[in-house]
C-alpha cells in the first residue's frame, strides 16, 4: 500500500464470525412453518421484498427480520396463520439471537497480529445488542481499540467514523466480505479496502460490478494474509 495505514477497520458478520448461513437456515425454518400457505420460493421472495420495504424503519438485524417474517406469514396465509405458528416464527428469530458465535478460521490470529501493529476498530451493522453479544462471545473484543455499530455502511458513515477517530481517509483501511458495505463506500471516500471472500453472500450485499481494478482495493483469499499485506 502507498503510505502508512494507521487505522484498520474490520467487519464482523461473515468476516470474523459466521452469520449469513444462520439467516439462510432461519429462512428455511420459516418456510417450513408457513409451508401450508406458500411455496419456499414465494416465501423467500415475499420475505426479501418485505425486509427491503421495512428496512428504512427497522434497519438491519434479527428483530426486523423476525417482524417481517410474521407479517409475511399473516399476509400469505390471508390471516389464517394460527397464533402458535406466529410464536414459532418468533422463536426462529430468538434462536438466531441466542445462537453460539462461531469465529471464522484465522480471525483470532489475524486480529491479534493486526492489533500489535495498528489501531484496530470493529465496524459492523445490525442490532446494537446482538452485535455486542457476538463480539463478547467471539472473545475478540480485547483486540479492538474501538467498536462502531452502525445502521448503514455508506460513505457518510465511514466519514463520520474517521472524524471521530481523527484519522485521514488515506491512513484507513477497511477489511470485509461485502463489496457493497466494506469496499465500495470506503474506496469512495479515499480510503483503502481489502476484500475477504465468504462462501455465501446475502443478496442485499451483492453489487453489479465490484471495483476490481481500483488502485486502493486489495483482495485476499483469507484473513491470514492480511497482516503481511499491511506490512507490504
Binding track, positions 20-59, relative to a copy of itself; x by CB under 8 A: ------------------------------------xxxx
How do 217-219 and 119-125 pair as beta strands? unpaired
Q: Which H, E and C letters describe 102-143, residue by residue?
A: CECCCHHHHHHHHHHHCEEEEEEECCHHHHHHHHHHHCCHHH
Which of residues 35, 49, 53, 128 is near a copy of itself by CB under 8 A?
Answer: 128
Those residues whose C-beta lies under 8 Å from the C-beta of residue 143, and which sit 6 or more positions away, are 111, 112, 114, 115, 120
The enclosing H or E element of 201 equals none
Taking the least distance from each CB to a copy of itself, the nearer of 44 and 126 is 126
The radius of gyration of the chain's CA atoms, rounded to the nearest angstrom, is: 19
| Residue 132 is a binding residue for a copy of itself (CB under 8 A) | yes
Taking the least distance from each CB to a copy of itself, the nearer of 149 and 174 is 149
Q: Quote the CA–CA distance of 128 and 115 in Å, as a whole number.
A: 23
Residues 166-225 that bind a copy of itself (CB under 8 A): none
Show the CA angle centred on residue 110, arms to residues 122 and 133, nearest 5°. Answer: 40
Q: Quote the CA–CA distance of 232 and 213 in Å, as a whole number.
A: 19
Taking the least distance from each CB to a copy of itself, the nearer of 130 and 184 is 130
How many residues of this chain interact with a copy of itself, rule: CB under 8 A? 38
Q: Quote the CA–CA distance of 49 and 43 in Å, as a whole number.
A: 10
Which of residues 90, 112, 188, 229 is near a copy of itself by CB under 8 A?
Answer: 90
Taking the least distance from each CB to a copy of itself, the nearer of 32 and 80 is 80
Which of residues 6, 119, 146, 214 is near a copy of itself by CB under 8 A?
Answer: 146
Which of residues 38, 67, 114, 135 is near a copy of itself by CB under 8 A?
Answer: 67
Grid cell 467487519 — which residue?
A: 11
| Residue 80 is a binding residue for a copy of itself (CB under 8 A) | yes
Q: Quote the CA–CA distance of 122 and 90 in Å, as a whole number.
A: 29
| Residue 79 is a binding residue for a copy of itself (CB under 8 A) | yes
Minimum distance of a copy of itself from residue 41's CB (angstroms): 22
Footprint of a copy of itself (CB under 8 A):
56-59, 63-64, 66-67, 70-71, 73-74, 77, 79-84, 86-87, 90, 93-94, 97-98, 127-130, 132-133, 146, 149-151, 164-165
Amino acid at each position: 500500500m502507498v503510505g502508512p495505514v494507521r487505522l484498520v477497520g474490520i467487519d464482523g458478520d461473515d468476516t470474523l464470525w459466521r452469520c449469513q448461513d444462520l439467516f439462510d437456515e432461519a429462512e428455511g425454518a420459516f418456510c417450513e412453518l408457513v409451508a401450508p400457505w406458500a411455496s419456499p420460493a414465494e416465501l423467500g421472495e415475499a420475505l426479501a421484498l418485505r425486509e427491503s420495504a421495512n428496512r428504512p424503519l427497522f434497519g438491519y438485524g434479527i428483530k426486523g427480520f423476525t417482524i417481517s417474517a410474521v407479517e409475511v406469514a399473516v399476509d400469505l396465509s390471508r390471516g389464517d396463520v394460527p397464533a402458535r405458528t406466529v410464536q414459532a416464527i418468533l422463536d426462529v428469530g430468538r434462536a438466531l439471537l441466542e445462537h453460539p458465535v462461531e469465529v471464522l478460521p484465522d480471525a483470532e490470529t489475524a486480529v491479534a497480529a493486526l492489533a500489535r501493529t495498528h489501531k484496530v476498530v470493529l465496524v459492523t451493522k445490525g442490532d446494537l445488542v446482538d452485535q455486542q453479544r457476538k463480539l463478547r462471545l467471539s472473545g475478540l473484543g480485547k483486540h479492538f481499540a474501538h467498536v462502531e455499530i452502525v445502521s448503514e455502511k455508506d460513505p457518510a458513515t465511514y466519514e463520520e467514523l474517521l472524524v471521530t477517530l481523527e484519522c485521514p481517509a488515506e491512513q484507513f483501511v477497511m477489511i470485509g466480505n461485502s463489496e457493497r458495505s466494506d469496499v465500495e463506500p470506503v474506496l469512495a471516500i479515499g480510503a483503502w479496502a481489502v476484500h475477504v471472500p465468504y462462501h455465501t453472500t446475502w443478496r442485499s450485499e451483492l453489487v453489479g460490478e465490484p471495483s476490481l481494478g481500483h488502485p486502493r482495493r486489495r483482495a485476499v483469499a483469507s484473513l491470514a494474509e492480511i497482516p503481511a499485506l499491511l506490512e507490504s
